[in-house]
Amino acid sequence: MVRLSLGISGQLLRGFTAAAADRVVTADEQQQEPHRLPLYLLGKVIMLVESPDGQRALLGRSAKFTPGMYTCLSGFIDQCESIEEAVRREVREEARVAVSEVQIVGTQPWPIGRYGSSELMLGCVAKARSYEILVNPSEMEDVQWFERAELRAAVELYQTAAGLLHLPDLSLSH
């Protein structure tokens, strides 16, 4: 169940119909018009960090992941933080890598967020200023640079392995 709350007071909404509802009911039974309710949207950034020469990608591995699994770095957007600031902060927190040239390339729904919430995933590309990595063990188990050829080979392997790799149309992976 998705829990929505009012953006200013944080009051939980009890009833909400996304499809053209003319009223919502808050937890204390007050009816309000939905277009006047500032809903809080949980935003998350995921970023492909390119090496200074553009030939490598910075990927990270959480201790929670399946062994050998690496992904693009990602994290939540803090309140009053821009998307670009969130990208710079998350990459700095996880790998101690400074980035520039942050570009927003797409969005996708992320229906498996924390505590059953639905989030908006904002896909970005950023350019690293150096190759030096200093992994923050409280954030990541490992962070490495991967060559383009390595990544292409990994994708091809999964695509040919009995169709194991299926990316939905809404995926930023495209």
Q: What integer pLDDT is reported at residue 174 of this predicted model? A: 52
On the question of pLDDT at 88 being above 50, the answer is: yes
**Residue, of 168 and 14, whose pLDDT is higher:** 168
Instruction: Assign domain 43-160 to a CATH class.
Output: alpha beta
Q: CB neighbours (10 Å) of residue 164?
A: 9
Q: What integer pLDDT is reported at residue 153 of this predicted model? A: 87
Q: What integer pLDDT is reported at residue 156 of this predicted model? A: 80
Query: Average of pLDDT values for 104-121?
Result: 77
3-class DSSP state for residue 100? Answer: strand
Query: Average of pLDDT values for 12-16?
Result: 48
Query: Average of pLDDT values for 97-126?
Result: 84
Model confidence pLDDT, tens digit, residues 19-71? 434 445 454 555 545 444 444 566 889 999 999 999 999 999 999 888 888 99
Domain ranges of the chain: 1-40, 43-160
Q: What integer pLDDT is reported at residue 141 of this predicted model? A: 95
**167's tokens:** 């990316």
Q: Is residue 92 exposed (0-12), middle (13-18) or buried (19+ Cβ within 10 Å)?
A: middle
**Residue, of 96 and 79, whose pLDDT is higher:** 96
On the question of pLDDT at 158 being above 90, the answer is: no
Q: What integer pLDDT is reported at residue 57 of this predicted model? A: 96
Give the least confident one: 11-15, 16-20, 138-142.
16-20
Helix residue spans in 37-174 (DSSP H): 83-95, 148-160
